[in-house]
Amino acid sequence: MSIELKLSRINRVYRPSELVEGNIIVKSASSISHYGIRIAVDGSVNLQVRGGTAGVIETLVGAAKPISILNKIVELRPAGKIASGTTEIPFSMHIRQPREDNLEKFYETFHGGNINIQYLVTVDISRGYLYKSLSTTMEFIVESDKADVIEQPVSPEMVVFYITQDTQRHPLLPQLKSGGFRIIGKMATQCSLSDPVSGELTVEASAVPISSIDIHLLRVESILLGEKIVTEKSVVQTTQIADGDVCHNMTLPIHVILPRLLTCPTVSAGPFSIEFKVVIVITFQSEVAKLHSKSDPTTPRLWLAMETLPLELVRTR
């Protein structure tokens, strides 16, 4: 005996104004009696703070309550029987009821380190006290309604950046400090989630050969706990744009594809916020670097030069 959920869309992506549709597939060797078939749609923002993160004492862990976005239950069938073999039961549910004044905010699906925005559809076949209920759950993806997103194109403005020994706030290798280096570039700081982060970079001079140039995408998750805001940064994705010492005065393209589910439109809500940053890291060739190959790539080191830029992510039509 088994139960399976199959949504109408293979990618499982829906907007709040749309219907979630699909089929419940029940397979059984014999007919079974039940006390009703119900389907539920739930959406919530789960906030979690790890013990010790950002100096927060363990008594605060779990103090942030989940934020409910959506909780609807629909009875598909009253008590009855399901025949033997394979039975398909179609269903459809409104995520947001049309023409009703919805006060809840439908944040987009996001899987982060401390913040998790998730939407689930659950089917439950009640079989009474003597038998275990049949149930299964599947996650579906919610993106912003077309009416709530901005028109394309996104602002084409580029931010120009310079990376030299004088822009670094951490100690550098003596030969880097004395000989110097100069990297210039530009990057878009507002980007559509359906487009890559684009820009360019040029190494004009460097006293020490370069080992690698990487673009790190960071998420910045902030949670309000009482009167304290707990913020944690973590690397979502790393994209290498150069391996080894590059030719000077040659323009290198920056083209970073944004990962699905691990990114979402920049959010600034009351209890939490989700922001993103881009860190451009230049790694210079050094024997010392080989001893710390597993270190955090965004932690300042003697053999690293870096520049951090804000990145606003938006959903476009």
Split at pLDDT 50, 70, 90, the class of 51 is low
- CATH architecture, range 158-314: Sandwich (2.60)
Distance, in Å, from the CA atom of 251 to the CA atom of 246, rounded to the nearest integer, reads 10
Burial 246-267 (b: 16+ CB within 10 A, else e): beeeeebebebebeeeebbbbb
Beta-sheet pairing, 190-192 with 304-314? parallel
Which tens digits make up the pLDDT trace of 217-262? 999 999 988 788 889 999 999 999 999 999 999 999 999 999 988 9
Q: Provide the mean pLDDT of the chain.
A: 87
Rounded to an integer, the average pLDDT of 137-148 is: 88
What's the DSSP call for residue 100? Answer: S
**What integer pLDDT is reported at residue 54 of this predicted model?**
46
The model's pTM: 0.86
Distance, in Å, from the CA atom of 82 to the CA atom of 109, rounded to the nearest integer, reads 35
**What integer pLDDT is reported at residue 17 of this predicted model?**
86
Rounded to an integer, the average pLDDT of 57-67 is: 61
Q: Does residue 313 register a pLDDT over 80?
A: yes
**What integer pLDDT is reported at residue 169 of this predicted model?**
92
Q: Which class for 270: exposed (0-12), middle (13-18), buried (19 or more C-beta within 10 A)?
A: exposed
**What integer pLDDT is reported at residue 100 of this predicted model?**
54
CB distance 88 to 25 below 8 Å: yes
For 2-142, the fitting CATH number among 1.10.8.190, 2.60.40.640, 3.50.50.60, 1.10.357.10 is 2.60.40.640
**What integer pLDDT is reported at residue 154 of this predicted model?**
66
Distance, in Å, from the CA atom of 215 to the CA atom of 255, rounded to the nearest integer, reads 9
Beta-sheet pairing, 13-14 with 134-142? parallel
The residue ranking higher by pLDDT, 138 or 289, is 138
**What integer pLDDT is reported at residue 218 of this predicted model?**
95
Q: Is the peptide bond before 153 cis (omega within 30 degrees of 0)?
A: yes
Rounded to an integer, the average pLDDT of 160-175 is: 94
Beta-sheet pairing, 115-125 with 134-142? antiparallel
Which tens digits make up the pLDDT trace of 202-229? 999 999 999 999 999 999 999 988 788 8
Nearest to 123 by CA among 209, 34, 249: 34
Q: Does residue 103 register a pLDDT over 80?
A: no
**What integer pLDDT is reported at residue 57 of this predicted model?**
42
**What integer pLDDT is reported at residue 117 of this predicted model?**
95
Residues of CATH 2.60.40.640 domain(s) within the chain?
2-142, 158-314
